[in-house]
């Protein structure tokens, strides 16, 4: 089983904070799974919030894509996301991340901002806190 990285963890690989970069790079070195949604969200953040030029976005995210297993978000994930949102109250986009991790048979979903309540049967979630991953 593989690990799945949420958008914020991938962005930490490009962060100015060395501790976050080191941890993210360690996770990326394990060939995790990310979805096309993660790449699109990263692209948006890099362009809008970090003011990257399109060429910089392409260069940085192309390198990330080479380091991971990239999966598409499709109809299966969309339907599962609706079920997750209805059951757990997550936003649609967070539910798509969770659905992609489930469909990809990931054992762990690394994220900073998804806090699970009653979801341990499917994925063990780690929460990013003070530069440490804690369960």
Q: What is the pLDDT of residues 84-100, one digit of tens each?
A: 888 888 899 999 999 99
Model pTM score: 0.83
Beta strand pairing status for 69-71 and 124-129? unpaired
Q: How many structural domains does the chain have? A: 1
Radius of gyration over every alpha carbon of the chain, rounded to an integer in angstroms: 14
Q: pLDDT tens for residues 24-50?
A: 999 999 999 999 999 999 999 999 999
Residues with Cβ within 8 Å of 54's Cβ and at least 6 positions away in sequence, in order, are 47
Range of the domain at 67: 3-134
- Domain CATH for 72: 3.40.50.1010
């Amino acid at each position: 089983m593989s690990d799945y990285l949420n958008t914020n963890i991938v962005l930490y690989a490009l962060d100015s904070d060395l501790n976050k970069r080191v941890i993210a790079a360690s996770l990326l070195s394990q060939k995790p799974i990310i979805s096309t949604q993660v790449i699109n969200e990263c692209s948006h953040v890099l362009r809008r919030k970090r003011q990257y030029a399109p060429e910089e976005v392409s260069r940085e995210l192309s390198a990330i894509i080479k380091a991971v297993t990239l999966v598409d978000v499709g109809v299966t994930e969309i339907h599962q996301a609706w079920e997750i949102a209805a059951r757990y109250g997550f936003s649609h986009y967070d539910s798509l991340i969770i659905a992609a991790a489930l469909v990809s048979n990931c054992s762990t979903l690394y994220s900073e901002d998804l806090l699970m309540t009653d979801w341990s049967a499917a994925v063990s979630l780690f929460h990013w806190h003070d530069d440490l991953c804690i369960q």
